[in-house]
Amino acid sequence: MSPNAPKTPARQIRIGDTWYDFDAAARAMGTERAAVIRELIDWYIREPGAKLPARPDRDVVEAARTKRVEGEA
């Protein structure tokens, strides 16, 4: 058995460059993008007990974006 055998299949969506800012923001909150997305989906479909995930301060996102854009230059 593979050491990384997810229980659910991967899904593809197109988001754009903000995906990388989202990654930095999720990491700053001590989590990962997939976990945040799952929480949002549960909240959106009104799963019992589901709540919106906490968000990072805006300066975290701005710093991540600046770093990414400078790295692209």
Q: What is the pLDDT of residues 14-32, one digit of tens each?
A: 999 889 889 989 998 999 9
Q: With a cut of 70, say whether residue 1 has pLDDT above it.
A: no
- DSSP class of residue 7 equals S
Cβ within 8 Å of residue 55, ≥6 positions away: 25, 29
> What average pLDDT does this structure show over 56-67?
89
- The pLDDT score that the predictor gives to residue 53 is 95
Q: What is the mean pLDDT of residues 43-62?
A: 94
Amino acid at residue number 50: A
How would residue 3 be classed by pLDDT, with cut points 50, 70 and 90? Answer: low
Helix, strand, or coil (residue 58): helix
| pTM to 2 decimal places | 0.77
Distance, in Å, from the CA atom of 60 to the CA atom of 25, rounded to the nearest integer, reads 6
Dist. CA 49–CA 68, nearest whole Å: 36
Give the whole-angstrom CA distance, residue 13 versus residue 23. Answer: 15
